Amino acid sequence: MSNCRVLSIQSHVVSGYVGNKSVTFPLQLLGFEVDAINSVQFSNHTGYPCFKGQVLEAAQLGELYEGLKANDLNNYTHLLTGYIGCESFLRKVKDVILDLKKKNPNLVYVCDPVMGDNGEMYVAKELLPIYQQEIIPLADVITPNQFEAEMLSGVTIDSAETAKEAMETLHKMGAKTVIVSSSDLGEPDILVGFGSSVANGNTSAIKVEMTRIPMYFTGSGDLFTAMILVWLHRHPDNLQVSVQYYTSFYSLQHLLHLVC
Ligand SMILES: Nc1ncnc2c1ncn2[C@@H]1O[C@H](COP(=O)(O)OP(=O)(O)O)[C@@H](O)[C@H]1O
Ligand SMILES: Cc1ncc(COP(=O)(O)O)c(CN)c1O
C-alpha cells in the first residue's frame, strides 16, 4: 500500500463516467486514497443534447476546504484538478493549491486544464486566462489535449516541432512537466502523444504513437491524467513509461470496455 492521498477536484455526473466518477475507483485500485470534491454535479456530461445540474462557486469550495482544514484532514501528497464549472471556483482552486503546498511543500499538483476538444470550448472562455496566469504557474504536471495545448500556448500543433514549441511555451508559463495527451497530425489511423519535462535545467521529451479507434470518447482524458499521476509517482524520472503505460494498457482496456 502506498501512503498517497489525492485530493481530486473535478466534475460529478449522475450517469456515466467522467471527472471524479472516472478516476476515483481506478486510483483506489492502485492503492491511492482519494478525497473527491465535485466542482459541478450534472445529470450527464456536456456532450449530450442537454445537461442539468449545479455548478459550485468559490464560496462553496472555500467552505468544504475550511471543513477539511478545521479537522486537520487536508493532508495530501497529490492534488488533481479537472473539469471546473466557473471562474470564481477556479480562482478559489488557486488558494487551495497554495494552502496545500504550504502544508506539504512536496505536494505534487497534477492539472488537467479541461476546456474543450476538437476546436470547441465546453467551459466558459473566462477560464482560459486564469489557467494561463494563475493555475499553470503552480502546476507540477499538466495534461492538456491538443486543443487545450493550442489555446493555452497560442501555438497551432501540426507537427512534432510545433508540439515541442507549444510545450516549451507551457514550461515558460511554469509547468514542470507537460503532456499533450493526444494530437491529430493528419494521419487518419494514428494519434500522437507528446511529453516534456524540465528538471535541473535539462529538458527530456518523448513522443508516443497510438492506434486511433475511429470513435469519440468522453472521460478518457480524465482517466489518462489520473493514471499519469500514478505512474509518474511510481517512475518519477521516466516520462516514457508513464505515458506508455496508460496508452498501451489502460486506454485499450477502458476504450474496449466502452465499445463492447
Ligand atoms: N479515439 C481514440 N483512439 C485511441 N485512443 C484514444 C482515443 N481517444 C482517446 N484515447 C486515449 O485516451 C487518452 C486521452 O484522450 P484525449 O482525447 O487525448 O483526452 P481528452 O478526453 O482530454 O480530449 C489518449 O492519450 C489515448 O490514449
Ligand atoms: C462534466 C464533464 N466532466 C469532464 C469532462 C472531460 O471529459 P474528457 O476526459 O473527455 O476530457 C467533460 C467533457 N465534456 C464533461 O462534460
To the query of whether residue 222 is one of the catalytic residues in this protein, the response is yes
Kindly tell me if the per-residue pLDDT of 259 is higher than 50: no
Question: Is 32 exposed, middle or buried, given 0-12, 13-18 or 19+ CB atoms closer than 10 A?
Answer: buried
Q: Do the beta carbons of residue 144 and residue 182 sit within 8 Å?
A: no
The residue to mutate among 12, 18, 24, 39, having the most atoms of ligand 2 within 8 angstroms of its beta carbon, is: 18
Q: Is the CB of 191 under 6 A from ligand 1?
A: yes
**Model pLDDT, residue 187:** 95
In ligand 1, the atom with minimum distance to the C-alpha of 217 is 8
**Model pLDDT, residue 249:** 53
CA 72 to centroid of ligand 2, rounded, Å = 31
Give, in degrees to the nearest 5, the angle at Cα 184 between 178 and 189. 125
pLDDT interval class at 70 (50, 70, 90):
very high
> What nine digits make up the cell of 72?
486537520
In ligand 1, the atom with minimum distance to the C-alpha of 182 is 18
C-alpha 81/C-alpha 142 separation (Å) is: 10
Contacts of 99 (CB under 8 A, 6+ apart): 65, 69, 74
* Ligand number, closest to the Cα atom of 143: 1
**Model pLDDT, residue 200:** 86
Q: Is the CB of 122 under 6 A from ligand 1?
A: no
Q: Is 146 helix (H, G, I), strand (E, B) or coil?
A: helix
- Which of 17-31, 83-97, 147-161, 230-244 shows the lowest mean pLDDT across its residues? 230-244
Give, in degrees to the nearest 5, the angle at Cα 180 between 214 and 117. 55
Question: Is 63 exposed, middle or buried, given 0-12, 13-18 or 19+ CB atoms closer than 10 A?
Answer: exposed
In ligand 2, the atom with minimum distance to the C-alpha of 22 is 9
pLDDT tens by residue, 189-223: 999 999 999 988 889 999 999 999 998 899 999 99
Average pLDDT, the chain: 92
Kindly state which CATH superfamily the domain 5-259 is placed in.
Answer: Ribokinase (3.40.1190.20)
Give, in degrees to the nearest 5, the angle at Cα 114 between 108 and 118. 140
Q: How much of the chain, in percent, has pLDDT values that exceed 70?
A: 92
